[in-house]
Chains A and B, each alone.
Chain A
Amino acid sequence: MRLEAKKLGYRYANDAWLFRKFDLSLQQGETVGLVGPSGRGKTTLARILAGYDTPLEGTVMLDGQPLPKRGYHPVQLVFQHPEEAVNPRWRIGRILNEGGQPDPFLLQELGIDQGWLERWPGELSGGELQRFCVARALGPQTRFLIADEMTTMLDAVSQAQVWHSVLAIAKQRNLGLLVISHEPSLIRRLCDRVIEWESLVH
């Protein structure tokens, strides 16, 4: 499978264009890093690829087909801040199951404690909560995962643990990963290739 962005253009209201004629291609099974300065539109691009926003110009295609408007989205996005990504009135177990039953192997890999499932989101640390968001995004129908500064709030050890398990799952299921990060060392360690934002936007 191939995730392709063709001639994307986006801007908020009447602000200047964040990007235009933006092309990107991501192959199943590969891990690609995206680096660039702050405030240029990386998160915006991630939202478009995962179907949260519609591009003002251009299209996103999955194997030559437009992205589905309904049903489970094959391109899943993990946000930087997990607190906003969960309903504060739901217990963790329910949040985790929103996209279907998660893989028990994945839960174990991510270091998820069974006891956490009974708690409310406010009773977990940001790092613990983020593991659930990662697990939720890795449902059986996920084909591509976009990690937008996914582990920024984790300490080095947890960061390594989470990435280790995500890479294992990605390899096992042949997923495509797009890693957006400000940490060059992380990107270098994880990715098959790295895209410089500046090189794509003119």
Chain B
Amino acid sequence: MSAHQAGQWPSAAPRPQINRRRRTLTVIVCTAAFIIAAWLGGYLVNLEKLATNLQSRNHAPSLQYLFGTDWLGRDMFTRTVKGLGLSIQVGLLASVSSGVIAVMLGLLASMGKIADRIVSWLIDAFLSVPHLVSLILLAFVMGGGMKGVVIGIALTHWPSLARIIRAEVMQLKSAKYVQISRRMGRSSWWIATRHMVPHLLPQLFVGVLLMFPHAILHEAAISFIGLGLSPHQPAIGIILSESMRYLSMGMWWLAFFPGLCLLLVVRSFDVLGERLRGLVDPRRSRE
């Protein structure tokens, strides 16, 4: 196969590019597959294994119990997979909501000078408050739980994406074909939905993907301190905070595997997002 291709491309220049492209595609497919597997895994796990089983308490990792079991005899592999599924679920809801807010405000900014002032002010105001502070406050006000976490993350994570979208919208607004559309009698809303949104979709998709890592880590963080998902759900944050008490007893596997898997998922989203951004917008990805 490679010999065949070497024959097809006698000059030296195109080959590294093809190799880089192929490597990029491989990375994209692998990370996407891993993420999808983790997500679907959360639905497919055998729920019986989540139940306590006092006969099999405190097992270290083995072939039978890949990630070991905890002090109640629950299988840590199953709990981890379920937890990752929950993390991705929360990440999905929160990131997509954030993306919707970002697009709405970005488009609103195109409607007029005053609208743009308001949007820019909102972006700056939200950016000036540290995520975790406003997130904890919001989650606390919402009374914790899945809904509180999702709303909290959605409301705190839109500004940086909104800023990118707004810049893009402003550039589009001065495009000749958009100005012509207006002289053809088309309304701002019509132009926003027909001309702008399709143009923004790739950017938006990547932006939302890159929001996942933040959303997932923040969810884990506030679940860890007890303001997030309910302790009855095997969220990674809950697993980590519960296992803290047992670490000193040498049960390292309780925190190690769930934590590692969480980092792997987060890193996968990061890599996937960056690679896709490289395809969508090579200029920005090099920054």
Contact = CB atoms under 8 A, between A and B. Distances in A.
B183 A52 contact: yes
Chain A contact residues: helix, strand, loop or mixed: loop
A13 B235 CA distance: 57
Contacts of A99: 184-185
Contacts of B183: 50-52, 72-73, 76-77
Q: How large is the interface on B (under 10, 10 to 19, 20 to 34, 35 or more residues)?
A: 10 to 19
A52 B185 contact: no
Contacts of B184: 72-73, 98-100, 136, 139
Contacts of B195: 87
B185 A84 contact: no
B185 A86 contact: no
Contacts of A144: none
B143 interface: no
Contacts of A72: 183-185
Given A72-B185, A89-B199, A84 B179 contact: no
A160 to B, nearest CB: 26
Contacts of B175: 84
B179 A52 contact: yes
A87 B177 contact: yes
Interface in A21-52: 50-52
A77 B184 CA distance: 11
Nearest to A95: B177
Interface in B155-180: 175-180
A73 B183 CA distance: 5
Contacts of B178: 87
A52 B176 CA distance: 10
A79 interface: yes
B186 interface: yes
Contacts of B179: 52
Closest 9 CB pairs of A and B: A72-B185, A99-B184, A73-B183, A84-B176, A71-B185, A87-B177, A85-B176, A98-B184, A86-B177
8 contacts: A52-B183, A70-B185, A73-B184, A79-B176, A84-B177, A86-B177, A89-B199, A99-B185
Interface of A: 50-52, 70-73, 76-77, 79, 84-87, 89, 98-100, 136, 139
